[in-house]
Amino acid sequence: MILSFCSCILFSFVSACLGAASVRHTEQYLQYEQRAGSTMTVALKKRFTMEMDSIGVQSGKTRIKHKMAYYGTIQVGTPPQKFSVVYDTGSGNLIIPGSDCGDAACLNHDRFDGARSSTVQPLECDGSPVRGGRSTDKLTITFGTGHITGKCLQDNICIGNLCAAGSFISSTAESAHPFQAFAFDGVLGLALDKMAHGIDFSIMSRMTRNKLLAEPLFSVFLSDSDHEASEITFGEIRHDHMASELFWVPVTRSSGYWEVQIEDITLDNKPQQICQECHVAVDTGTSQLGGPSEIITELGDKLDVKSDCSNFHKLPKLGFLIGSHVLNLSPRDYVDKVGNSCHVSLMKLDVPPPKGPLFIFGIPFLQKFFSVYDHANSRVGFAIAKHGGHEEVLVTLEKHVQKSRFQDQPSPLAIASPRRLRKQNGTSVK
């Protein structure tokens, strides 16, 4: 569900540095292989909706926007209370409705009841000790179209049988829009640690510290077909979901997002020189693709999608050049087509510096590409997702290899409406 993002631009290293990095990464994985870690796969349900979206007050016209969300289950407390949550790589905290929230948005969902848990502990949201056994501290998280206010608690949090004590936000107030209409109860943030409100709020950090995982990573496979199961797997790379080799890209900035560098945008594998050294956040909680207004406008002009769909079958592949690889989307991935009505489904999103300008790879991208999130080494892996046994070739632009700012890192092992996060008075705000 995002918007926030990460900065340590990876410049070319001498071969000795690359060798040292490779050895260090291998040693880290060997350490995990010696631990009694586990893997866990969570099946994800999908919710598909259509909304009317105004495209101009003066024109009085509207168009239909498609939105999709994927969510699974977790358990909190002792005995465990079950909740459905979006597994969200674009945020850092677990947020679920609390029993003391009387808003319609909360009453419409399962709520966490601390009185029913023998292991719950109150917390001050700034991490300081609670005095008198009860905290009155609260924080407010503002989204693009709503807000949540909540208190901070600690309790046992389980993904399947992977359990560890951790901190989370139990909401005491939620705006009706958009939360009342959500099919899921809350959000489980899976961004890097910096995005979390504190280190104990980061579920990947907790599972890594407690040696729960066979490998300190998770992988995401999303499908828009009812005949395939979408899932997120912790502690393992599911190679059976890959229709191409996996390649790794380093996280490029330090905001906490799974953010990588795009070297350009391509049409039918031809670089357009309209987005050189752009950055993109990979976000499982966002239903669309998005980017800076200026670039999206220029890209829309180049694509020239006819509103009556008359040129739909002649549209080019829209690709993103990452390193030497082109990650291509077909017209069905980037055009919203309803009957004989077509429009480019790329939202304009202007994130100010230093976090912007920024692209968002949301669900349409993640349905096309299998993705892996390496928490220990701050990098993202991509492969073409295998759907229904159909395989494609991962495009590589050989002549671009020498110009690339970074090369693929060697692998020791052979991802609702737009809403964005920023730091405001020390609080993560969406």
Assigned CATH topology for domain 40-51+63-209? Cathepsin D, subunit A; domain 1 (2.40.70)
What is d(CA 427, CA 411) in angstroms, rounded to the nearest whole number?
35
Residues of the chain with CATH 2.40.70.10: 15-37+238-429, 40-51+63-209
- Supply φ then ψ for residue 333, to 5 degrees: -85, -30
Which pTM does this prediction carry?
Answer: 0.81
Bridge-based pairing state of the strands 230-234 and 278-282: unpaired
Alpha helices in 118-182 (DSSP H): 176-179
- Active-site residue, 283 included: yes
pLDDT tens by residue, the chain, 430 residues: 543 323 232 222 222 232 333 333 433 433 334 345 899 999 999 986 544 343 333 333 434 455 789 999 999 999 999 999 999 999 999 999 999 999 999 999 999 999 999 999 999 888 777 877 777 789 888 876 789 999 999 999 999 999 999 999 999 999 998 899 899 999 999 999 999 998 999 999 999 999 999 999 999 999 988 889 999 999 999 999 999 999 999 999 888 999 999 999 999 999 999 987 789 999 999 988 999 999 999 999 999 999 999 999 999 999 999 989 999 999 999 999 989 999 999 999 888 877 777 899 999 999 999 999 999 999 999 999 999 856 577 888 865 443 443 344 433 333 233 333 333 333 333 3
CA 132 to chain centre: 38
Q: 32 CB contacts (<8 Å, ≥6 apart)?
A: 213, 214, 215, 216, 376
What is d(CA 267, CA 317) in angstroms, rounded to the nearest whole number?
6
**Other Cβ atoms within 10 Å of 308 Cβ, number:** 10
Tell which CATH classification among 2.40.70.10, 1.20.200.10, 2.40.50.100, 2.60.120.10 matches the domain 15-37+238-429.
Answer: 2.40.70.10
What is d(CA 344, CA 54) in angstroms, rounded to the nearest whole number?
15
- Supply φ then ψ for residue 289, to 5 degrees: -95, 145
Question: What H or E segment, with its residue span, contains residue 205?
Answer: helix 203-209
- Active-site residue, 53 included: no
The catalytically annotated residue of 88, 185, 200, 374 is 88
Instruction: State the amino acid at position 236 in one-letter form.
Output: E
The catalytically annotated residue of 155, 185, 264, 283 is 283
